[in-house]
Amino acid sequence: MNDRIPGFGTLAVHAGAQPDPTTGARATPIYQTTSFVFNDADHAASLFGLQSFGNIYTRITNPTTAVLEERVAALEGGTAALAVASGHAAQLVAFQQLLQPGDEFIASRKLYGGSINQFSHAFRSFGWNVVWADPDDIPSFERAVTNKTKAIFIESIANPAGSITDIEAVAAVARKAGVPLIVDNTLATPYLIKPIDHGADIVVHSLTKFLGGHGNSLGGIIVDAGTFDWSKDGKYPVLSEPRPEYHGIKLQETFGNFAFAIACRVLGLRDLGPALSPFNAFLIQTGIETLPLRMQRHSDNAKAVAEWLSAHPKVAAVNYSGLSDNRYHALARKYAPKGAGAVFTFSLKGGYDAGVNLVSNLKLFSHLANVGDTRSLVIHPASTTHSQLDDEAKTRSGAGPDVVRLSVGIEDKEDLIADLEQALNA
Amino acid sequence: MNHDSYNDAYIREILNTVKTVAMVGASPQNVRPSYFVFKYLAERGYDMIPINPGQVGKSLLNKPFVASLQEIGRPIDMVDIFRSAEHVMSIVDIILTLNPLPKVAWMQLGVRHDEAAARLEAAGIKVVMNRCPKIEYGRLSSEIQWMGVNSRTLSSKRAPIPTQGMRLSLNRSSVGGGSTAAADRVAQQNNKDKNDTA
């Protein structure tokens, strides 16, 4: 009776994109325009009043970007999505719909350093107060819940150490507290982990990483799972109460199970303004077409490199959940059975200096502050991405002074291992 | 029939074949969904009839308000019920007195009444519950994708160019697309909870 549900590879190529009705163009055209003409005054009014589907201005909607949005929503199993200028912008826009000044949210301590900074400083300046919890100690999330808690935030695979969060256990805490669970799924991508299947209500991404995949475009996205009832207890007035800027429309009543994505678009993106360029949307969606192929190769290469490193006499430890002796291996097998991703850390017996030497002697791995490129990347988090954290916070988030982070690319793994070997021996 | 989910062919066939639609609970206030769903469907060529006893003597987009389904005075293809679940049974009582019977009874997003559906189906009337015809039209035509919504359809065919500023015609050829299983599970659970407490 129900329609056949296509597989992940089919959705990665097709979801959101169809031949252009006027020209027949098969690739999605780049609608590089700021604005769209109205049919007449009535059409304009109904678009501004959220009463019709259509385009006004590229800060709010754009037909190229919309293809990217539907594609990621389909891959994550969400009802709708909103693409924005960066992963940081995705977090800003998502949280702005949920928190009022004085409210709190609970976040995992093990996060990308940039998120720790955003939550600790920028968000605090808005009166959105982060309370940290330890993903290796689930009861610490429960203990952090107060009557001001409005959301819980975790990473599925945490940056930089590649540890795996027990999403279902944190989702249970969120459900009990009556707040949505937000999962940053950047390092896993929906190919490896679909957080919505495990209880996430909102998924955010930096599209800049594996989804775009080629290290050429910044972008971020918010996916609405369509699972949270925003109107049950008045805690989320942005979604449940009449909106004065739209003549009293109630967003959840009007848009049902994709109301959160609409709120992010017509309130957050409209008023804060971090819109994605249509050209970036085009490059990112082209990248997504090969996501399943790339992600499998990234993960397979990472496992081979991690196994080789862990047998090397100069290596003190390798933190990759794809290795059977890793403390997160059981979680990796449960949540990411196809592979544990491409980002992990290791430490050298020679400490900080050996790490610095390794980075400077590598010839194929690029030393830079990104992950999720086709190219293999290396960085020393303590002196770069996590440098603004104090030493204790560095170690807690997996970025101690002796730690080197790799993002393993899709090159031939023998060449990557040879590069590491010559750099370790140099 | 199972009302937890509908396949696209069932909804598309309904939206492609009905012409005359009476909307029970149509509102003259232009910020209410029961106003702009009425308007959207009228713009897509449906012969819309607003039913609201409190507005008789006035018009909605040049269509005169009618007090009740029984006073329309001509056959209708579909009744779109824009009232909450507790009013559904009394509306069904009226629907079942109509001659000829409408082909379809559609209950809006958030409205589900399994007992009413069973009575309607026993009389040969197709039922859709807890859906919005505007959202379904936008989804199956993929027009809703402009808002980043998962249309749950895929197509490699060039769609016919429609009229009136619409993106694509409803008659586009498509197969099933990305599922929204988590949201569907929540909706089913909510319906079950409602029925258990009723």
Picking from B39, B145, B157, the nearest residue to A19 by CB comes out as B157
For residue A18, the chain B residues in CB contact (below 8 A) are: 142, 154-159, 172
The residue with tokens 């800060």 is A59
Last residue of a domain, one of A271, A287, A303: A287
- Per-residue model confidence (pLDDT) at position A218: 97
Residue A203 has pLDDT above 90, yes or no: yes
A129 and A226 housed in the same domain: yes
The tens digit of pLDDT for each residue in A62-104 reads 999 999 999 999 999 999 999 999 999 999 999 999 999 999 9
If contacts are CB pairs under 8 Å, which of residues 171-210 in chain A contact chain B? Answer: 196-197
Q: Distance between CA atoms of A151 and A182, rounded to whole angstroms?
A: 7
Report the 10 Å Cβ neighbour count for A177. Answer: 20
The tens digit of pLDDT for each residue in B129-179 reads 999 999 999 999 888 889 999 999 999 988 776 666 555 667 777 888 888
Answer yes or no: are the C-beta atoms of A276 and A219 closer than 8 Å.
yes
The tens digit of pLDDT for each residue in A342-382 reads 999 999 998 888 988 999 999 999 999 899 999 999 998 87
Domain for residue A3, yes or no? Answer: no
A272 and A331 housed in the same domain: no
Residue A341 has pLDDT above 50, yes or no: yes
The CATH number of whichever domain residue A120 belongs to comes to: 3.40.640.10
State percent of chain B over pLDDT 90.
Answer: 66
A280 and A381 housed in the same domain: no
A283 and A304 housed in the same domain: no
Q: Does the beta carbon of A98 lie under 8 angstroms from any beta carbon of chain B?
A: no
The tens digit of pLDDT for each residue in A123-167 reads 999 999 999 999 999 999 999 999 999 999 999 999 888 899 999
Last residue of a domain, one of A231, A253, A287: A287
Is the dihedral angle over the CA atoms A29, A35, A38, A43 positive or is it negative?
Answer: positive
Report the 10 Å Cβ neighbour count for A153. Answer: 25
- Per-residue model confidence (pLDDT) at position A48: 84
CB pairs under 8 A between A and B: 169
The tens digit of pLDDT for each residue in A374-419 reads 999 999 887 787 777 787 877 777 778 889 999 999 999 999 999 9
Residue A1 has pLDDT above 50, yes or no: no
Q: Which helix (H) or strand (E) holds A202?
A: strand A202-206
For residue A55, the chain B residues in CB contact (below 8 A) are: 146
Amino acid letter at A196?
I
Contact B30 A70 (CB under 8 A): no
A266 and A134 housed in the same domain: yes
The tens digit of pLDDT for each residue in A220-242 reads 999 999 999 999 999 999 999 99
Domain for residue A21, yes or no? Answer: no
Residue A247 has pLDDT above 60, yes or no: yes
The CATH number of whichever domain residue A343 belongs to comes to: 3.90.1150.10
A341 and A258 housed in the same domain: no
- Per-residue model confidence (pLDDT) at position A2: 56
A301 and A405 housed in the same domain: yes
Structure tokens at A238: 């942005």
How far is CA A84 from each of CA A79, A207, A221, A268, A275, rounded to the nearest angstrom? Answer: 17, 9, 6, 10, 5
Last residue of a domain, one of A266, A287, A308: A287
**Averaged pLDDT of chain B:** 90
A283 and A145 housed in the same domain: yes
Q: Does the beta carbon of A231 lie under 8 angstroms from any beta carbon of chain B?
A: no
A221 and A340 housed in the same domain: no
A311 and A334 housed in the same domain: yes
Class of domain B8-197: alpha beta
Structural domain span for residue A120: 34-287
What's the ipTM? Answer: 0.90
- Sorted by sequence, the CB contacts under 8 Å of residue A227 that are 6+ apart come out as A196, A201, A257, B182, B183, B185, B186
Q: How many CA atoms lie within 13 A of B129 on its CB side?
A: 22
For residue A10, the chain B residues in CB contact (below 8 A) are: 154
> What are the boundaries of each domain within chain B?
8-197
More confident residue, B170 or A189: A189
- Per-residue model confidence (pLDDT) at position A39: 84
Structure tokens at A1: 């009776």
If contacts are CB pairs under 8 Å, which of residues 52-91 in chain A contact chain B? Answer: 52-55, 61, 63, 65-67, 69-70, 73-75, 77-83
pLDDT band at A108 (very low <50, low <70, confident <90, very high): very high
A225 and A315 housed in the same domain: no
- Tally of domains in chain A: 2
**Averaged pLDDT of chain A:** 94
Report the 10 Å Cβ neighbour count for A136. Answer: 14
State percent of chain A over pLDDT 90.
Answer: 81
Could you tell me which residues are beta bridge partners of residue B106? Answer: B80, B128
Q: Distance between CA atoms of B92 and B73, rounded to whole angstroms?
A: 18
Which stretches of A32-165 are assigned E, i.e. beta strand? 80-84, 104-108, 129-133, 149-155
According to DSSP, the β-strands at A220-224 and A80-84 are antiparallel
Picking from A14, A69, A247, the nearest residue to B154 by CB comes out as A14
Contact A18 B159 (CB under 8 A): yes
The residue with tokens 């939206």 is B15
Domain for residue A38, yes or no? Answer: yes
A297 and A245 housed in the same domain: no
State percent of chain A over pLDDT 70.
Answer: 99
- Per-residue model confidence (pLDDT) at position A21: 81
